[in-house]
A and B are shown apart, each in its own frame.
Chain A
Amino acid sequence: AQSVTQLDSQVPVFEEAPVELRCNYSSSVSVYLFWYVQYPNQGLQLLLKYLSGSTLVKGINGFEAEFNKSQTSFHLRKPSVHISDTAEYFCAVSENNAGNMLTFGGGTRLMVKP
């Protein structure tokens, strides 16, 4: 079975600073990886996903993530954050070609300060 660990429960950062939200996964087989964002009082929205090919994946709202197989990581980055990026971010994994559901990490609350 797969699992996901988001190492930071909260990340405070000043507006226009860069940010990295860390995600590590564990699985005995190949995986697909996803990042979702949850704004206050809303459902989760897909930010980006890694299926295959280039290990650098670009998503919506200027976010990108890099898949590192040797380190079993899929960290999310943004070069310059805005107040509106304040939200909860979830990393999720599914087994490649076999997984019929997503396993989510515990989430990281990104708090952007003016």
Chain B
Amino acid sequence: DSGVTQTPKHLITATGQRVTLRCSPRSGDLSVYWYQQSLDQGLQFLIQYYNGEERAKGNILERFSAQQFPDLHSELNLSSLELGDSALYFCASSVGDPGSGYGYTFGSGTRLTVV
């Protein structure tokens, strides 16, 4: 158990629907990162939150949004889902920035299948 909890583990939904993925960071970690892992694109950075504030944005589609709540858990909202959104979505947390030498602790991921 890495200490980062992601729910649900699996999600199957239809095109056009909206889903919410949830992440609880490791105790003491203020940063939460969301990544999308697909076979053709590899690990793509989506967005980072630090202590409730958006800190960095990557290749996140406008149909996707995220937030971090006062208790530091984070949610990634995916709407108007398309078949191409099927992927493994990872949440990671860290106590500080990788640029300061801190690595991430990853959750086990949410596998999203859009049918």
Q: Which residues of A contact B (CB under 8 A)?
A: 32, 34, 36, 41-46, 49, 51, 90, 92, 94-107
Contacts and interface: CB of A to CB of B under 8 A. Distances in A.
A44 B90 contact: yes
Contacts of B105: 46
B98 interface: yes
B48 A34 contact: no
B58 interface: yes
A106 B99 contact: no
A32 B99 contact: yes
Given A107-B42, A107-B43, A46 B104 contact: yes
B98 A102 contact: yes
Given A100-B56, A107-B42, A107-B43, A43 B107 contact: yes
Contacts of B4: 43
Contacts, number: 70
A102 B42 CA distance: 13
A99 B98 contact: yes
A43 B56 contact: no
A49 B103 contact: yes
Interface string B50-76: 100001101000000000000000000
B101 interface: yes
Contacts of B92: 43-44
Contacts of B25: none
Contacts of A98: 99
A42 to B, nearest CB: 6
A27 B45 CA distance: 17
